[in-house]
Amino acid sequence: MISKMKTGQVLKIGLELHCQLTNLQTKLFCDCLSNYRNSSPNENTCPICLGLPGTLPLLNKKAVEFASMICMAFNCNIPEKISFYRKNYFYPDLPKNYQITQYNSYELSSIGYEGAIEFVGESKSKTDTSADDQERSKVRIARVQLEEDPGKITYEEDKSAVNNYSLIDYNRAGVSLVEIVTEPDFSSPLAVRTFLKEIVNLFEYLGVTDPSLEGSVRCDVNVSLGGGKKVEIKNISSFKEVEKSIYYEITRQKTLIMHDIDVKSETRHWDEKRKVTVAARSKEEEEEYRYFPEPDIPRIILGSKFVSRVRATLPELPIERLKRYTDVYKISDHTAKILINDKRISDFFEESLRYYKSPIEISNWIVNELLTKINEKDRQGISDHNVRGLDFLSVLPSQVAEVAKLVEEKSLNRNIARDIFDKSIESGTSPLKIIENLEIEKISDEASIIKIIQDILNSQPQLIEQSKNNPNVINYVLGLIMKETRGRVNPQIAMKLIKESLEAN
Amino acid sequence: MRSLYELPAFVVSRKIQDQEISAEEYISIIIERIKEVDSKVNSFTSLNFEGALTMSRAIDKKIKEGINTGLLTGIPVGIKDNISVQGLKNTCASRMLSEYVSPYDATVVSKIKEQGGIIIGKLNMDEFGMGTTSEYSSFGPVRNPWDLEYVAGGSSGGSAASVASLQIPLSLGSDTGGSIRCPSSFCSVIGIKPTYGSVSRSGLISYSNSLEQIGPIARTIYDLVPILNVISGEDPKDNTTVHKKYDYQLNTIDNLLTKKYKVGVLNEFIDDSEIEVARTSQKKVKQLEDYGCELEDTRIPLADYALASYYVIATAEASSNLSRYDNLRYGYEGSPEGYEWNSYFSESRSKFGDEVKLRILLGSYVLSAGYFGKYYAKAQTIRSMIKREFDILFNKYDILLLPTMPVLPFKLGEKISQPIEQYNLDVYTILANLAGLTAISIPAGLSEKGFPIGVQLIANAFDEQKLIDAAVILERAEGFEKWIPRI
Amino acid sequence: MGTDIKKLCALAKLEIPEQNIAEISGKVKEVLLMFDKLDEFTTEGFEIKSTEDLKFERAFENLRDDRPRPTLESSGKTRPKLKLKNTKDGYVLGPRI
Ligand SMILES: [Zn+2]
């Protein structure tokens, strides 16, 4: 399909990302909890977020700060003053039947505008270090705006036609949402996928959201072919579906063009079950949002020092971390990228360094051993769309540090070290403990092995006689010992001791 | 001897605090008075007699224990039915909200309660505050206590009529484009629209957020000032309130004689009014002069554009504010079961009255795609220009004087269903709302046939003190406490 | 100008009975005519940007802190709650979508 596309019309894809600021304590305009996920229906509401008559929005200071951090990460301009607008449309999940948002048509009101971000594209595998891996794409950001999430509508029956009514839960209503609108700078579904992966990671670095929470990062897509009309796809539940929906939409539009049918500018919904996009409403209808300045929220003066103040509190971003890993730690670019591409892996790495400061050795253990394990688990389909596998392994940073230290300082054989590391990951015991146990059994336990042998010979005295004609008896006894000790005995030593015991008797 | 219900609130409150009478006795008298009179005036939409009596007993108990009970001790206050009182119906005189009971107190209401005021009931109005006569109410029209066949003015008609007819001494109204001042003028009571941002709107059901303020209505400036002090102030629940010290004084006449306020007289407005209104306004000019004020003719050149500007902004904001009434979460009887959502919304919202529907449609139109610049943005620009003209005037003058209403009260039904004719009545009052200023309507006299006439004074933002001072002068010059309707 | 009253009603989600359409349509036109007064006003010679002048401003520092309200147990008061109408298992009953 991609190749056909190359010979055919230019493909332009733009994104509209919605990121819930889940790391806030309270909603955007009231002091209900930002974390609505643990409440029973409509419990996490108050007069403000239910839009009761007479209530007024009270803007969350930290939400403005978080949104501005996102703007900084996307290299957007941040104006000295921001303001809010009402987007008027009716819908049962919208308590006021308008959404408080930002809007730039009449003035520059949004928290961020005109940014751009480069994305690397994820390294394909640890063996692939080819140059195209390094290629960076640039996406322009039109604007970043702060707005409120609506509530949620559910049904008792799956098939919507069967239901006589819907069920509305306003717990989510009023939760802070940051909308990021890109220019149509993506030219393939794959680029979108890699971009999204990186962006989610970026949000995590910023500490504004927990992407593993269902629905915390959502994405609408617009697709146009050959300079034609823009079609918007909404209602896409996960990032995997984003890619699928784009592929579908490309095929649909191509088919239309092939049959000389005009592509309409419209909004379509992604039907996840049927894997098709369906027409939702025409552009004409949706342009009637009757935007106007929200009279209940004054224009907010951020002031000239705002940006520098927030920037000073900005956590280290992936791109900065990458630089530090390669420049200061001298880790290879390839390995460093793998580390920073997942904040949790990168944090794990940093934590390991606290136990043993050997960045190269530790990074190798993480990238070559630990991540391989995680990828295996991933392939088994254990992990969820946004969640990485680290949670599923009970590995501690100290364990990795210990293995690295054993190899580097005690010149432990790498193969043995790998075995120990594997055991350590499986059992959760520290590598040092494992080594200790191994050594205790190997060296100091001859006496107890002899005791086990004696016990066996006492209960089966015929073995002594048989052994004189049958050399297999030694192996038989060894088997019994191994069974008894669950294989913890060094077989060479045991063999020697069995022979001695049999001969002595 | 005059009955307690005839006395000013501050006098009665003193008696209650001195334990000359109990709050409970006073409230009982008020309740009797309301029962006797309001069937004729129709100023209340719901009554809180039980709650008021309970509250009065609690106050009496506190007084006996020597606890300070506040600036409004024992005083019954009526609340316009678009201001939230916890546990009371809050209908906005609309069938859309016939079953809605507010779960919270408006900030002004909690402040009144904290100062010992007693919420006696909710007051009739034009539906959602949209009207100039208080005829557009699901409870039927408010009647003018001076002649029950005449309109009381609007939209806070119940707030003015209940005070004028000696049912209660104090009430709260809201003023979007004259809604406090117009009925105050028509009923001969004193009502103030405070500066935008000086009184919290939290709990006020929005009609046009950028224009409106809650304000008090009373029979004398001496009752108006304490409650104004109580309700004014920055509120963390309303981000459009302004941090300032609000401490209005009732100055003595001797003190006021030294102030020599400069008063700009908006003569074009006076001349454009009905002859008796004009004559009365001139009489007020004279009285201020007698008390040492300096008067001068002046004008607001852009006033011609004010009406269109005002109604564009008001309807635009209203159309959005009233969107939330879809009868899903609260409202009136009825279930969405079996309905498709579009038809449920449309059918539910058909309970709005005709005038409200008209304004929603107008507001939706002026905000719709392609018209923003032609209407809303233009209206806001003119609004800014008008504000500038006022800025210039207030460099020169302390106070501006003009009639509150261009006409005398008229008969019920006379202007109903004639939007433009009604809107034109607001030309003198909307100016203060557009520019966010403070303005007051003060009883100025009676027409030959005995209908009230009000004079309006406008001052710069946060200059309420100047209006209060002028009101003290005018009340001294021609005591209006004797102007009481016979009912 | 052509105001399509039915389209406007659909936009504002208002049901207006057929027999009233003509009347309300007439009123809308009448008021819009009054609004046309704005066209006579030219902003030439004035330097004013759209809605800027009258909008209230507030410093970022004075916004609400991100602090959840005290729980009912700790505050000792019961928070007044709206009795939502037409609920089922805590959900608000809605129309079909
Ligand atoms: Zn809330």
- Assess whether pLDDT exceeds 90 at residue C52: no
Residues linked to residue A13 through DSSP beta bridges, in sequence order: A186, A223
pLDDT of amino acid A422: 83
Compute the distance from residue C68 Cα to the ligand 1 centre, in Å: 10
Q: What is the pLDDT of residues B322-335, one digit of tens each?
A: 999 999 999 999 99
Compute the distance from residue A280 Cα to the ligand 1 centre, in Å: 30
Q: Is A260 exposed, middle or buried (0-12, 13-18, 19+ CB in 10 A)?
A: exposed
Q: In this predicted structure, which of A234-238, A360-364, A374-378, B325-329 has the lowest mean pLDDT?
A: A374-378
pLDDT of amino acid B325: 98
Residue A223 banded pLDDT, cuts 50, 70, 90: very high
Closest-CA residue of C relative to B379 is: C38
pLDDT of amino acid A497: 87
Classify strands C57-59 and A299-301 as parallel, antiparallel or unpaired: parallel
- What average pLDDT does range B262-269 have in this prediction? 98
- Assess whether pLDDT exceeds 60 at residue B336: yes
Distance from CA of A53 to the nearest CA of B (A): 5
pLDDT of amino acid B239: 96
**Contact present, B93 and B356 (Cβ < 8 Å):** no
Q: Compare A337 and A482 and report the one with higher pLDDT.
A: A337
Residue C29 lies in a domain: yes
Kindly report the CATH number that applies to the domain delimited by A446-504. Answer: 1.10.10.410
Closest-CA residue of C relative to A169 is: C91
Distance from CA of A176 to the nearest CA of B (A): 18
Catalytic residue among B155, B188, B202, B281: B155
Catalytic residue among B80, B111, B113, B193: B80
**CB neighbours of residue B289 within 10 Å:** 12
The domain spans of chain A are 16-123+133-220, 316-438, 446-504
Q: What is the pLDDT of residues B369-392, one digit of tens each?
A: 889 999 999 999 999 999 999 999
Task: Return the CA Rg of chain B.
Answer: 21
Residue A385 banded pLDDT, cuts 50, 70, 90: very low
- Assess whether pLDDT exceeds 70 at residue A130: no
| Full domain range(s) for residue C19 | 1-42
- What average pLDDT does range B45-50 have in this prediction? 98
Compute the distance from residue A32 Cα to the ligand 1 centre, in Å: 4
Q: Compare B148 and A9 and report the one with higher pLDDT.
A: B148
- What average pLDDT does range B56-82 have in this prediction? 97
Residue carrying the six token digits 């294989």 = A487
Q: Helix count (H) and strand count (E) of chain A?
A: 18, 15
- Assess whether pLDDT exceeds 80 at residue A382: no
- Assess whether pLDDT exceeds 70 at residue C45: no
- What average pLDDT does range A259-281 have in this prediction? 89
Closest CA to B308 of C34, C54, C39, C33: C34
Residue C78 lies in a domain: no
Question: Residue type at B353?
Answer: G
Q: In this predicted structure, which of A365-379, A386-400, B199-213, B414-428 has the lowest mean pLDDT?
A: A386-400
Q: Compare B416 and C76 and report the one with higher pLDDT.
A: B416
Q: In this predicted structure, which of A273-282, A339-348, A443-452, B225-234 has the lowest mean pLDDT?
A: A443-452
pLDDT of amino acid A480: 85
Average model confidence (pLDDT) across chain A: 86
Closest CA to B240 of A390, C97, C56: C56
pLDDT of amino acid C71: 73
- The count of C-alpha atoms lying within 13 angstroms of the C-alpha of C35, restricted to the half-sphere facing its C-beta, is 30
Q: In this predicted structure, which of A130-139, A420-429, B266-275, B380-389 has the lowest mean pLDDT?
A: A130-139
Give the whole-angstrom CA distance, residue A87 versus residue A85.
6
pLDDT of amino acid A475: 85
Tell me which residue in B210, B362, B364 faces C31 most closely, judged by beta carbons: B362
Q: How many domains does chain C have?
A: 1
Residue carrying the six token digits 């309700």 = B231
Closest CA to A353 of A401, A311, A396, A316: A401
- What average pLDDT does range B99-117 have in this prediction? 98
Tally C-beta pairs within 8 A across A and C: 115
Q: What is the pLDDT of residues A134-147, one digit of tens each?
A: 567 899 999 999 99
Give the whole-angstrom CA distance, residue A381 versus residue A389.
10
The domain spans of chain B are 4-259+464-478
Q: Does a cis peptide bond (omega within 30 degrees of 0) precede residue B155?
A: yes
Residue C53 banded pLDDT, cuts 50, 70, 90: low
**Contact present, A233 and A250 (Cβ < 8 Å):** no
Fold of B4-259+464-478: Amidase signature (AS) enzymes (3.90.1300)
Structure tokens at B469: 């001072």
Residues linked to residue A177 through DSSP beta bridges, in sequence order: A20, A147
Is the CB of A54 less than 8 angstroms away from the CB of B205?
yes
Residue carrying the six token digits 């072919």 = A225
| Mutation to test the C interface, candidates B381, B389, B415, B425, most C Cβ within 10 Å | B381
A56 CB within 8 Å of a chain B CB: yes
pLDDT of amino acid B285: 98
Q: Compare A84 and C48 and report the one with higher pLDDT.
A: A84
- ipTM at complex level: 0.96
Q: Which of A246-260, C38-52, C78-92 has the highest mean pLDDT?
A: A246-260
**Contact present, A176 and A69 (Cβ < 8 Å):** no
What phi and psi, each to the nearest 5 degrees, are found at residue A72? -65, -40
pLDDT of amino acid A390: 60
Q: What is the pLDDT of residues B11-28, one digit of tens each?
A: 999 999 999 999 999 999
- Assess whether pLDDT exceeds 70 at residue A389: no
Per the rule left: phi > 0, alpha: psi between -120 and 50, beta: everything else, B11 is alpha
Q: Is C74 exposed, middle or buried (0-12, 13-18, 19+ CB in 10 A)?
A: exposed
pLDDT of amino acid A384: 46
User: pTM of the full predicted structure?
Assistant: 0.90
- Assess whether pLDDT exceeds 80 at residue C61: yes
Percent of chain A with pLDDT strictly greater than 70: 88
Average model confidence (pLDDT) across chain B: 97
Q: Compare A115 and A407 and report the one with higher pLDDT.
A: A115
Tell me which residue in A47, A59, A297 faces B104 most closely, judged by beta carbons: A47
pLDDT of amino acid A445: 66
Q: Compare A301 and A474 and report the one with higher pLDDT.
A: A301
Cα dihedral value A49, A52, A55, A60, nearest 10: 0
Distance from CA of B487 to the nearest CA of C (A): 37
Catalytic residue among B159, B174, B179, B273: B179
Relative orientation angle of helices A343-355 and A189-206, to the nearest 10 degrees: 50
